[in-house]
Structure 1
Amino acid sequence: MSPPWAAVAGGALIGAAVVLLLATTGRVAGISGIAAGSLRAAPGERGWRWAFLLGL
């Protein structure tokens, strides 16, 4: 895979992750807020935050 196509594929994967997050939780992917909330959020909120960050 040539470098431009690798960048396009990476961008598509990140875009798919953002769309999936919006569809499943109704939240917009603000990475800094998700990262901060992964440590300070209520226990029920931490799972999807960690899953999203690990997926990136």
Structure 2
Amino acid sequence: MVATSFTPMASLMGGALIGLSAVLLMWAKGRVAGVSGIAARLFPPYEDGEFAGRLAFVAGLV
């Protein structure tokens, strides 16, 4: 049997960061942080002035 560590503080902080980033995106751009839509628009024919922001968002997920 493999035991895993219980890390409530790390989990709480990770969830808070995800929530904060979603709220900031909604505040700054007026959009919901839909990862599939943001990632799909990294590829043509959806090129526009938002490419750098989309790339930064997806890179931040990694």
Query: Unaligned stretches of 5+ in structure 2?
Result: 1-5
Runs of 4+ aligned residues of structure 1 deviating over 6 Å after TM superposition are none
Identity %: 51
Provide the aligned C-alpha RMSD in A: 1.4
Select the structure with the greater relative contact order (CA < 8 A; seq sep ≥ 6): 1
Structure 2-normalised TM-score? 0.76
Query: Unaligned stretches of 5+ in structure 1?
Result: none
1:6-21 aligned at under 5 Å gives the runs 6-21=10-25
Structure 1-normalised TM-score? 0.82
Give the count of matched residue pairs: 55
